[in-house]
Structure 1
Amino acid sequence: MVTLAPYGSWESPLTAELAASGDGRPEYLGAVGDEVWWTAPRPTEGGRRALMRRRADGTEESVLPAPWNVRNRVHEYGGQPWAGVVTPSGPLVVFTDFADQRLYAVEPDTGGAPRPLTPVSATGGGLRWCEPVVRAELGEVWCVLEEFTGEGPTDVRRVIAAVPLDGSAAGDRTKVRELTDDSRRFVTGPRISPDGRQVAWITWDHPSMPWDGTELRVAAITADGTFEDARTVAGGPDESVAQAEWAADGSLIAATDRTGWWNLHQVDPATGEAVNLCPREEEFAGGLWKLGLRWFAPLASGLIAAVHGKGDTRLGILDPKTGDLADVPGSWTEWASALAVSGDRVTGVAAGPYTGHEIVELDTSTGHTRVVGAAHRDVVDPAYYPRPQHRTFTGPGGREVHAHLYPPHNPDFAAPEGELPPYVVWVHGGPTGQVPLVLDLELAWFTSRGIGVVEVNYGGSTGYGREYRNRLREQWGVVDVEDCAAAARALADEGLADPARLAVRGGSAGGWTSAASLTSPLTEGLYACGTVIYPILDLTGWATGETHDFESEYLVSLVGRLDEVPERFAERSPVNRAEQVRAPFVLLQGLDDVICPPVQCERFLERIAGRGVPHAYLTYEGEGHGFRRADTMISAVNAEMSLYAQTFGFEAPGVPVLELGQ
């Protein structure tokens, strides 16, 4: 029997605890012999990342007990934190632990405890390690070293370094061999050719971000394990090389956007001549937000496994000789940038509209796929999941705005005749990022209670080519705000959403767009309320030391140069437009966030005080940029729902009432 009840007041089996049950997806897949290993979120264990192992018999186990947290802080977002090889005594694994950022080695089958390989530094952010490659034959692990040279967030250098596996560098920094100099601000981990004679890596410098312009570098490896004759073979200020790998035959494959799309090219390491292996107006890579992302992986057979698509992504097998690309069948609409190869098997992380991220194996010899890890499990009847739709809205000037629509959905409830549902515009972070159309229990928590959601891949998002991505250049706070507003207004105009009950929410760069949308004249009166999560609120502050090194000059492309257009920085910043805020809002912030620090929220709230705008500010000890702990996420979704209930005028069953001050 279907019960009539106002939108937002519907009861749902999806609880706040279930909505908070995942703080992400499996990441950083790797093959250790015939086994697949990865890292997995553990929200109920203090938000740590566990290193998981799938044995040959199909059983999964956590390699290290709590509190080991296999995660690093390189670029603050972290990157590939582990690598492993098979030895006569079993797997040898090196990994970084989040607590002290040291590199450790462990042989789990021998019962030994992890032993440190690198020292601790008290200077600034210390020593950090990423993208390890175990060179057992040399007794070393090669990886990215991020080393702070002072107390400031930009007092940092990065090189490719070799760390002894015998532990001799655990107390002696001088035992670490540096394989590159620090003339480039950013480097990725080394990719070593099959014959061991060449190495490739990617570099870039401020003010470029890795999706703006990078260089693919190649060097010879000498007999004593040093690099010589380093040279640039691809890339430049207007060409982004996102990933490079050596194929089994010794050829170099790179994902570069020189055509306007990240396509796979075979690059001659001697001349730099490049051949597009599969010319398409599709992306075969994305934004390199974390070191170690892997969109493609060469197989021993010469074929290449490749994640590709426009918006949605698929896993395909590319024959580089013919350019033929055969896609893997299945209902998955997203394949993450995480591929591992062992023999003729390819393993990836995939999700769909009705399934969360799970680990899928493809046997290229048969074409068969199967889920081999982190299998999706329906925590409630799938009838309560949303029924998403692809939408393309029209923005200013007739431009396309890509989005995903999630109408309210609950089989037990319907709204009274004539009532239109409230809708929340979800704004993804980055802003050079993308939101996929996949099952998200936090989103389902809202739709199953009668609140619609529209996720907008506004101009500047990845997945739609460089031209779409470049729409945001110097237009942050304008194009993103306009595109999100276009989606909201279209839903109201189409009679799908209540124009008086629209909201906006987002975290990080999405928090910026949400706050900008509450203060911008472009959207005056559009949104009834907003949820702003660990946001950027003051561009001038963010450009002058209030963030980390990786993004410290990001605003050059997003806004302009501060010394040239200071008025633009001031005019667009929500902190300077606080008097424009009329709508109630909730502000959520981790107190350990060094990317979007609490000081920006505090500055904004000082200017809101006394203006009569209902709001709440919730802070969380021990949380950084991106909430990871179950109790934090439960608090956050309840606070957000309470804001909507109070603003939109419905009772939210089971949701604690959040006190909104003024």
Structure 2
Amino acid sequence: MVEIAPYGTWTSPLSAADVAASGVSAQWLGTAGDEVWWAEARTGEGGRVTLVRSRADGTVEDVLPAPWNVRNRVHEYGGRPWLVMDDVLVFTHWADQRVYRRDLTTGETTALTPEPTTRHGIRYGDLRPGRPGEVWLVRERSTGPRRADIARDLIALPLGGGTARVLAASHHFLTAPQLSPDGARAAWIGWNHPAMPWDGTELCVADVLEDGTFGPHRVLAGAADVAVCQVEWETADSLLALLDPSGWWNLHRVGLDGESTNLAPVEQEIGGALWKLGARWFTQLGGGKHAVLASGKLAILDEATRQVTPVAAAADLTAWSTNGFAVHAGGIAGVAAGPEREGAVLEIDLDTGSLTELASVPAPPSPDYLSTPAERIFETEDGARVPAFVYLPANADFAAPDGERPPLLVYPHGGPTGRDSAVLDFEIAYFTSRGIAVVTVNYGGSTGYGRAYRERLREQWGVVDVADCVAVAEALAAEGTVDGDRLAIRGGSAGGYTSAASLTTTTTYRAGTVMYPILDLYQWTGEGGETHDFESRYLDGLIGPLPETEQRYLDRSPINNAGTLAGPLLFLQGLEDEICPPEQADRFVAGLAGRGIEHAYLRFEGEQHGFRKAETIVAALEAELSFYGQILGFETPGVATLPLSR
């Protein structure tokens, strides 16, 4: 029998521990011979990332036992961390950031790079096959005391051991070089401050000299306002690259003379923000066909018809991982999710349309307890269209009293150059199955909608994102879908900034949760230099160049506007975060002491940017639920009460 109970008080079969253990946290998928390999994060093992392979007979096994942790800190977000060459596995290990080789026959593992001698040491990432007996990759070195004191170069590591050879250092930021089919040239992508890789990058090619070094590089494509986000050799004389001169990332053929041809001009994003080195959005199928990720969905680009056609068998998979996508046995293997499926390792046979799950996942709760996202388009006061995904409360055992409307959590994504998709997310289901609605908002600045939509946020961060989220929340309240008196906002990283900025510049929300946030813009990227090198000039585009726009940094920093907080805040912070360091939240919370504003601050040892340990995920979710219950006025059965300070 269905029980009548207020929204927010419903009991759910989905616990915080279930959320921590849910899905396959697979990443960096690729192939080795006839096998599919991927890295897999294990929340129950302290967030360790192991390496897994699916053999031709369908058996799945771990390749690397504990304590090996296949991860690296290049750009702090990491780059492709493993590569198989013949019977040798090469990988990066999180604990010391060194590169190791493992003989797949004997299991013998040896280090290929020196032991670190400084706190930040040397990092390596984006492993690629080089000349015979070599792996090519990006090396990142600390050159001073600040987080942004970093230099990078492209190097070759001999698999047999020995000194690394420097190949090139064309730009401040680089992707690893790729060797042409004839071994005569190498290609890579580079860019310099203050550009981010979605602003403007350059496709570089250099001759490989007899001694294995590179000659002077030439720029074949890209510009200050054209971003190359992926490149692959097609033949010895031509490359395939994703460029956006039209305002949309499309697949182009680029000759060694720099001539470029768009293979299928479409107003779709076949490409995205290069947050992690080694991300990919296309792979070659042969015969003039290419598998592509078009606005997050799997499709086939046919050069003959100049069309991009969605793969019918993958119609319900709305979000494919860009760091896990490869051709295998005539089909496509990857990590994908959809409205009724959390991320899983899958393989699609392009001839038959059959879909095979390569990695088993924990069985989800009955669909009766899961909310299916509805895509909506909302409109701001100035007429801008804002896409969002609405997750309404769903629980087969409960219904709300007549006339009651649910509380709403507005959930802006990180980045802010990121994107949300219509997917099943157990973290969201944790709230919706308890009677709390959630909406994820692709505010101006999000990827997936072309350069013009991304540029809506140029010098407008803290304005456009805040206004777009407010427009969505208030529209849902005005139409009676949610309770306008019980609106809250939650977000992590850049989403944490938007959440804090929203609570200090608007009166729309009653409360907010900010996870590993940016709170002091000037100290984050200006004189304080509190963030890492990759994003240390990000705010040039999002806020404006310094020192000319210094006042704008101060005015839009939530830490300077705490006196106008619209409601209580919950802070969740990892203590090893080099991207949004704890100093920011520490200062904000210290400033709230004794001011009568309810707040709580949970700090987590051993966590970086985003939470990876099962115990952290459980503690954070349960604290957040208790926080909303206390502020928005509903009981939270089965969850300990979070102490609030004033």
Matches within 5 A, 1:340-489: 340-342=326-328, 344-364=330-350, 366-489=351-474
Matches within 5 A, 1:150-299: 150-168=144-162, 175-181=163-169, 183-247=170-234, 251-269=238-256, 271-299=257-285
Match of 1:333 in 2: 318
Mapped partners of 2:211, 2:549: distance in 1? 51
Aligned CA distance change for structure 1 residues 226 and 195 (closer, same or farther; 3 Å)? same
Task: Give 1:43's aligned amino acid.
Answer: T
- Given that residues 242 and 270 in structure 2 are in contact (C-alpha distance below 8 angstroms), is that contact kept between their aligned partners in structure 1? yes
TM superposition shift of 1:356: 1.0
Mapped partners of 2:301, 2:383: distance in 1? 36
Match of 1:314 in 2: 297
Describe the superposition over 1:522-556 as per-residue Cα deviations: whole angstroms up to 9, x where unpaired: x22x1111101000000110113100000000000
Aligned CA distance change for structure 1 residues 624 and 22 (closer, same or farther; 3 Å)? farther
Q: Does 1:111 align with 2:131?
A: no
Match of 2:91 in 1: 95
Mapped partners of 1:324, 1:146: distance in 2? 40
Candidates 492, 502, 508, aligned match of 1:507: 492
- What are the ranges of 5 or more consecutive residues in structure 1 without an aligned counterpart? 169-174
SS of match in other structure, 1:213: coil
- Given that residues 129 and 179 in structure 2 are in contact (C-alpha distance below 8 angstroms), is that contact kept between their aligned partners in structure 1? no
Mapped partners of 1:132, 1:655: distance in 2? 44
Match of 1:172 in 2: none
Describe the superposition over 1:380-410 as per-residue Cα deviations: whole angstroms up to 9, x where unpaired: 2122111210011111301001100001111
Match of 2:20 in 1: 20
Describe the superposition over 1:168-201 as per-residue Cα deviations: whole angstroms up to 9, x where unpaired: 2xxxxxx1101003x4110001122222222110
Task: Give 2:149's aligned amino acid.
Answer: D
Mapped partners of 1:214, 1:369: distance in 2? 38
Mapped partners of 1:262, 1:509: distance in 2? 23
Larger deviation, residues 403-412 vs 126-135: 126-135
Structure 2 length normalisation: TM-score? 0.97
Mapped partners of 1:36, 1:165: distance in 2? 22
Aligned CA distance change for structure 1 residues 207 and 154 (closer, same or farther; 3 Å)? same
Aligned CA distance change for structure 1 residues 17 and 455 (closer, same or farther; 3 Å)? same
Q: Does 1:561 align with 2:556?
A: no
TM superposition shift of 1:566: 1.1
Aligned CA distance change for structure 1 residues 301 and 248 (closer, same or farther; 3 Å)? farther
Aligned CA distance change for structure 1 residues 518 and 619 (closer, same or farther; 3 Å)? same
- What are the ranges of 5 or more consecutive residues in structure 2 without an aligned counterpart? none
SS of match in other structure, 2:151: strand
TM superposition shift of 1:323: 1.5
Mapped partners of 1:463, 1:651: distance in 2? 39
TM superposition shift of 1:436: 1.4
TM superposition shift of 1:367: 4.3
- Given that residues 24 and 359 in structure 2 are in contact (C-alpha distance below 8 angstroms), is that contact kept between their aligned partners in structure 1? no
Structure 1 length normalisation: TM-score? 0.95
Task: Give 2:139's aligned amino acid.
Answer: L
Match of 1:324 in 2: 307
Mapped partners of 1:372, 1:584: distance in 2? 44
- Given that residues 88 and 102 in structure 2 are in contact (C-alpha distance below 8 angstroms), is that contact kept between their aligned partners in structure 1? yes
Larger deviation, residues 188-197 vs 414-423: 188-197
Mapped partners of 1:104, 1:527: distance in 2? 50
Describe the superposition over 1:297-345 as per-residue Cα deviations: whole angstroms up to 9, x where unpaired: 1134442111103xxx221122224323332123111122131124633
User: Matched residues, percent identical?
Assistant: 52
Match of 1:38 in 2: 38
Match of 1:570 in 2: 554
Match of 1:657 in 2: 641
Mapped partners of 1:327, 1:379: distance in 2? 27
SS of match in other structure, 2:21: coil
Match of 1:54 in 2: 54
Mapped partners of 2:248, 2:309: distance in 1? 19
Describe the superposition over 1:472-499 as per-residue Cα deviations: whole angstroms up to 9, x where unpaired: 0000000000000000000010001111
Match of 1:601 in 2: 585
Matches within 5 A, 1:638-657: 638-657=622-641
- Given that residues 123 and 149 in structure 1 are in contact (C-alpha distance below 8 angstroms), is that contact kept between their aligned partners in structure 2? no
Candidates 105, 108, 122, aligned match of 1:127: 122
Match of 1:621 in 2: 605
Task: Give 2:376's aligned amino acid.
Answer: R
Mapped partners of 1:113, 1:395: distance in 2? 60
- Given that residues 51 and 62 in structure 2 are in contact (C-alpha distance below 8 angstroms), is that contact kept between their aligned partners in structure 1? yes
Describe the superposition over 1:43-98 as per-residue Cα deviations: whole angstroms up to 9, x where unpaired: 00010111111111111111111121100000001010001122xxxx31100000
SS of match in other structure, 1:368: coil
TM superposition shift of 1:151: 2.4
SS of match in other structure, 2:441: strand
Mapped partners of 2:334, 2:199: distance in 1? 27
Larger deviation, residues 115-124 vs 31-40: 115-124
TM superposition shift of 1:605: 1.5
Mapped partners of 2:362, 2:377: distance in 1? 31
Task: Give 2:4's aligned amino acid.
Answer: L
Candidates 572, 579, 595, aligned match of 1:611: 595
- Given that residues 24 and 344 in structure 2 are in contact (C-alpha distance below 8 angstroms), is that contact kept between their aligned partners in structure 1? no
Larger deviation, residues 317-326 vs 251-260: 317-326
Mapped partners of 2:463, 2:301: distance in 1? 39
Task: Give 1:105's aligned amino acid.
Answer: R
Aligned CA distance change for structure 1 residues 636 and 380 (closer, same or farther; 3 Å)? same
